Amino acid sequence: MADERTYSASEAARALGISLDTLRRWDRAGRIAVHRDTANRRIVDASEIDRLRGERGTSMSARNRFPGTVRSVTAEGLLTRVEIDVTEPVRVVAIITSEAAEDLGLRPGGPATAVVKATSVMVSG
């Protein structure tokens, strides 16, 4: 059964890792599907948040997920460097193939989720 939960605009923005102003701009641009409640407040369905996060019914075992906004996409040959602003002042940087970056439609200002495998995280004290 599909998740039928709805989110207020501020809850949806938080779930997507974007600002409320960005959510409002996306609404005006038709980039996010919202509807209005009886008080004319924006309401976003969980399925719309899943669509924007790229969770099209797939499941992953990774729990370290960081939704954010793409800061930059820099292609050099076969590799592309992607910078994602997660939350102030955290930024996740990934090196992925250029083909993957193109397939994902990554661009500055667009939504993205960084998924970190614990075996790839280094900690220093």
CATH code: domain of residue 11: 1.10.1660.10
Q: Are residues 71 and 45 in the same domain?
A: no
Instruction: Assess if residue 125 is contained within a domain.
Output: no
Instruction: Assess if residue 26 is contained within a domain.
Output: yes
In this prediction, residue 80 carries a pLDDT of 85
The number of distinct structural domains making up the chain is 2
Domain encompassing residue 93? 64-118
Q: Are residues 68 and 46 in the same domain?
A: no
- Residue 28's contacts (CB-CB under 8 Å, 6 or more residues apart) are none
In this prediction, residue 125 carries a pLDDT of 30
Give the residue ranges of DSSP H helices in 17-92.
20-29, 46-53
Q: Are residues 78 and 99 in the same domain?
A: yes
d(CA 45, CA 68): 19
State the pLDDT confidence band at 58, using cuts at 50, 70 and 90: very low
